[in-house]
Amino acid sequence: MLATFIIGLREGLEAALIVGIIAAFLRRNGRSLTPMLIGVGAAVLLSLAVGIGLKLVEQSLPQAAQEGMEAIIGVVAIVFVTGMILWMTTNARGLKRDLEAHATEALGEGTSRALVLMAFLAVLKEGFETSVFLLATFSASTNAGLAATGAALGILTSVVIGYGLFTGGMKLNLGKFFSYTSGFLLLVAAGLVVSTLGTMHEAGWLNAGQQRVLDLSWLAPTGSVQGALFTGVLGIPPYPVLIQVVGWFAYLIPMCAYLYWPKKLRPDARGAVRLRYAVAGALGVGAVVMVAAVGPATMQSLGAATVVDAQGSQVGTIAVAGSTATLTVGSQANPVDLTQGQSVAHATVPDAVQYTMPVQAATAGLPAQLTLDELVQLNGGRLPVGVNPDVAKGPFTTTWTHAGDRTLWLTNGEVLDFNQTSTIAVTIAGGGLPNPRTLTVAGTLPDGTAVASGSLTADPTHVTRAASAATQLRVDQQERTFWGRVFPGVLLLTALLTLFTAVRAQRRLTSVAEPAATPVPATRRNLNV
């Protein structure tokens, strides 16, 4: 409530001051105030329409898009409030003088329409800024009702003060007023930076720097007055993360240094230019250092994955070496083709690479004939469906097939998961069977040879460890991309902007220092002798 009250008071008072100065000037010159009041009313209605329209658009969006729009509104609000603080700090004392100079010029041209337009645009500008800033503050506030009440009270107070200044019944030191409120608004804007960074994370735009670095719950307990002050007014969460702490200091320290550095310690014009060059150089060097210091993220080596059967017993391993993979089961080493992979989501890894291939195993050594008892034993002790022992007494001729599918999932060159499903089928004929029959078998031959259909999989422990390592790699990549690319880019852009302002300021100083050009003497007219 306090934050929105100050916002409404500051923005409303700026508009009220401009309107009051213009109204007083028009009255002194015998002009009607009606056109100006109509322009002011139109600007107020238009500002309300902008605020309501933005809120309705935001509510109509999906949740992620709402967070994104709140982040955009927050950035715009930070820019607005920063510009407002800087402009009023510089122009508050000469505001009345400058407005009256423009008003005199407008009336000198014989029209008051310029003054009406000036009042309309002033109210529209402040109203639009107020709408955006309050929307951002409402989004970060824990109680929208109190926030709206504070804004309304602030605007009403500004109207009362503006009317008092207009009638002469109230005096106000504008320089001190804007200086004091600027300090508070700097804290509010810094808190808005914190909440906007949090909203960017919720929108999925900013996933780096999310490590919790501070515990301020002792300073701002939930439900306490301190909590309402720090969280509700200043926008400081009880558990800020790294990027929020960096953003808070990165905004507040330069702004406070610019506004509140002692005047006697401020450099002169040339010193200010040299300081800008130094700041630009320091920012550029910092960007280069960060790019060089932050290397690429790499995934930890996981080694070979253990392969288990359907009962969970270890039967082999599968490992990747370079561009080849090898499945080792017992004494047999089977190569796995890695030439045709496709990106899929698997085991919580969104960008795993899947390789699938058929398995064709040899059937040499399996019996060419089976007796009825061997067939029952091979079928797990049960007589196969469709075989009548009174008619089909065997022996039966056999045709064996052994086929299946083998699937390997990799993540960043490491084994994520493995699965192999094999099926052994036998087709029996003769022995009294009217027609050949095919059945899947799982049992043991009389000589003790195991004939089984089943599956092989990677050890679930390895799958969990690999998925965790892949997730950590994605987090590391996001962190390193932000701190090694995005953040240095912001530093470099800031350095270029600072360098640009330094060059412009130096050119202005140079043009002022240059002596006035000496007029070229007129060439004497040549006379004919």
Structure confidence by residue, pLDDT tens digits, 62-90:
777 888 888 888 888 888 778 877 776 76
Q: Dihedral through CA 82, CA 85, CA 86, CA 89, nearest 10?
A: -170
Contacts 24+ apart (CB under 8 A), 197-202: 197/243, 197/244, 197/247, 198/237, 198/241, 198/244, 199/67, 199/70, 199/71, 199/74, 199/139, 200/67, 200/71, 201/243, 202/67
Contact assessment for residue 78 and residue 193, using Cβ atoms and an 8 Å cutoff: yes
DSSP state of 339: S
Q: Which residue has the higher pLDDT, 229 or 439?
A: 439
Q: What pairing do the DSSP bridges indicate for beta strands 324-329 and 332-336?
A: antiparallel
| Of 78-92, 334-348, 370-384, the least confident | 78-92
| pLDDT at res. 443 | 64
Contact assessment for residue 397 and residue 366, using Cβ atoms and an 8 Å cutoff: no
Q: Is pLDDT at 483 greater than 60 in this prediction?
A: yes
Mean pLDDT of 339-349: 90
| pLDDT at res. 263 | 81
| pLDDT at res. 96 | 57
Per-residue model confidence as pLDDT tens digits over 275-284? 999 999 999 9
Q: Is pLDDT at 527 greater than 70 in this prediction?
A: no
Percent of the chain residues topping a pLDDT of 90: 21
Q: Is pLDDT at 227 greater than 70 in this prediction?
A: no
Distance CA 276, CA 23 (A): 41
With left for phi above 0 and alpha for psi between -120 and 50, is residue 477 left, alpha or beta?
alpha
| pLDDT at res. 418 | 93
Beta bridge partners of 404: 359, 422
Most confident of 5-9, 107-111, 387-391: 387-391
Mean pLDDT of 467-489: 92
Q: How far is CA 484 from the centre of its chain?
A: 16
Mean pLDDT of 170-194: 75
User: Phi and psi for 269 in degrees, rounded to 5?
Assistant: -60, -45
| pLDDT at res. 106 | 56
Mean pLDDT of 128-156: 70
First to last CA, the chain: 93
| Of 39-48, 140-149, 239-248, the least confident | 140-149
| Of 13-27, 71-85, 130-144, 313-327, the least confident | 130-144
User: The tokens 């470099």 sit on which residue?
Assistant: 492
Q: Is pLDDT at 241 greater than 60 in this prediction?
A: yes
Q: Is pLDDT at 528 greater than 80 in this prediction?
A: no
Q: Is the pTM of this model over 0.75?
A: no
Q: Dihedral through CA 471, CA 476, CA 477, CA 480, nearest 10?
A: 170
Burial of 305 (0-12, 13-18, 19+ CB in 10 A): buried
415: nearest Cα among 303, 340, 311, 328: 303
The pLDDT-based confidence of 525 (bands split at 50, 70, 90) is very low
13: nearest Cα among 136, 134, 187, 160: 160
Contact assessment for residue 72 and residue 136, using Cβ atoms and an 8 Å cutoff: no
Contact assessment for residue 213 and residue 223, using Cβ atoms and an 8 Å cutoff: no
Q: Which residue has the higher pLDDT, 56 or 28?
A: 56
Mean pLDDT of 301-315: 88
| Contacting residues for 97 by C-beta, under 8 A, at least 6 apart | none
Q: Give residue limits of the domains in the chain.
A: 2-266, 267-296+465-508, 344-457
Q: Is pLDDT at 145 greater than 70 in this prediction?
A: no
Q: Which residue has the higher pLDDT, 252 or 12?
A: 252
Token pair listed for 507: 């050119």
| pLDDT at res. 216 | 82
| pLDDT at res. 92 | 58
Token pair listed for 306: 């253990």
| pLDDT at res. 171 | 64
